């Protein structure tokens, strides 16, 4: 992902839950990814994802966590390597929390913090054959990864283990490694293994649920109730986000500070 400035503003979209349709997945097929004639149709999907993210953010705010929401580009552009094979909406720390973190990190370390992927974030993404619901800490969001690692080092694994096992249906992943840690079935030993190998700034940390949606078998994700299910899944990840990401309530970034 490039650090270039975003080439366009977010589209307008109301906070509402709109069902997905088969065409939402079709326009992300590899054969169409570079074709600009599908931009208008992909823009419809972008608005739909933004609407869903706004519903989630509203509920999260009512529960005490504030997020800013953004979406990925719907048109082929240098920013996305001139192809659109995946579209997503994501919720990351709100502006005032970024300001607090910048004060902790200092201007040099925090200069790129406005890029959403340099923060822990919650994500709903569509590909032509799948839907992903996830919590992601990119390798470049090293301060959130380090905050998490410092916290479990200081407090132990018990609470993190409980939070991960409270979201069955998700799996914990380490970067692009083949190993996986299944939420709901994790043991202390398995989580110790993960922490041993996880290095913030080198590895991405992901807690994800992927729902297969191949052509001809998309009934599950086309169900009118699916957007509500997606929001509920993101809400279920909020306790993990609050535990992991740096904030005033979870400040473990610089031990002894």
Q: Cβ-count burial of 200 within 10 angstroms (0-12 exposed, 13-18 middle, 19+ buried)?
A: buried
pLDDT, tens digit, 9 for 90 and up, residues 56-84:
999 999 999 999 999 998 988 877 878 99
pLDDT, position 111: 63
Do the domain assignments include residue 95? yes
pLDDT at 4: 41
Q: Is residue 5 in some structural domain?
A: no
Asked whether residue 189 is domain-assigned, the answer is yes
Instruction: Give residue 146's domain range.
Output: 22-244
Residues with Cβ within 8 Å of 229's Cβ and at least 6 positions away in sequence, in order, are none
Residue 16 lies in a domain: no
Provide the pLDDT for residue 5.
46
Domain for residue 224, yes or no? yes
Maximal C-alpha separation, the chain: 56
Kindly state whether residue 256 falls inside one of the protein's structural domains: no
Tell me the DSSP string of 178-239: S-EEETTS--HHHHHHHHHH--TTT--EEEEEEEE--TT--HHHHSTTHHHHHHHHHHHHHH
pLDDT at position 240 is 97
Does a structural domain hold residue 10? no
Total length of the chain: 257
Domain count along the chain: 1
Which residue is listed with tokens 């200081």? 154
CATH number assigned to the domain comprising residue 108: 3.30.930.20
In this prediction, the residues of the chain whose per-residue pLDDT falls under 70 are: 1-7, 107-116, 255-257
What's this model's pTM, rounded to 2 decimal places?
0.92
Say which residue the tokens 């619901």 belong to.
133
Q: What is the DSSP string of 71-101?
A: E--SS--GGGTT--SEEEEEEEE-HHHHHHH
Q: Is residue 13 part of a domain?
A: no
């Amino acid at each position: 992902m490039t650090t270039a400035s975003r080439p366009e503003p977010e589209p307008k979209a109301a906070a509402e839950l709109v069902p997905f349709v088969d065409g939402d997945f079709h326009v992300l097929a590899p054969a169409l990814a570079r074709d600009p004639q599908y931009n208008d149709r992909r823009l419809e999907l972008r608005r739909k994802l933004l609407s869903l993210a706004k519903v989630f953010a509203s509920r999260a705010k009512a529960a005490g966590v504030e997020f800013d929401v953004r979406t990925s580009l719907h048109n082929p552009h240098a920013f996305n390597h001139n192809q659109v094979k995946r579209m997503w909406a994501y919720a990351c720390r709100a502006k005032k929390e970024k300001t607090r973190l910048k004060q902790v990190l200092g201007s040099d370390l925090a200069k790129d913090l406005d890029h959403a992927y340099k923060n822990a974030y919650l994500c709903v993404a569509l590909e032509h054959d799948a839907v992903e619901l996830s919590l992601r800490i990119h390798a470049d969001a090293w301060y959130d990864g380090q905050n998490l690692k410092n916290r479990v080092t200081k407090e132990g694994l018990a609470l993190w283990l409980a939070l991960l096992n409270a979201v069955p249906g998700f799996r914990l992943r380490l970067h692009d490694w083949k190993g996986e840690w299944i939420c709901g079935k994790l043991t202390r030993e398995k989580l110790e293994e993960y922490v041993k190998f996880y290095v913030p700034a080198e590895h991405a940390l992901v807690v994800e649920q992927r729902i297969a949606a191949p052509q001809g078998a998309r009934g599950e994700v086309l169900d009118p109730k699916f957007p509500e299910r997606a929001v509920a899944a993101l809400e279920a990840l909020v306790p993990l986000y609050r535990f992991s990401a740096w904030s005033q309530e979870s400040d473990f970034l610089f031990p002894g500070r």
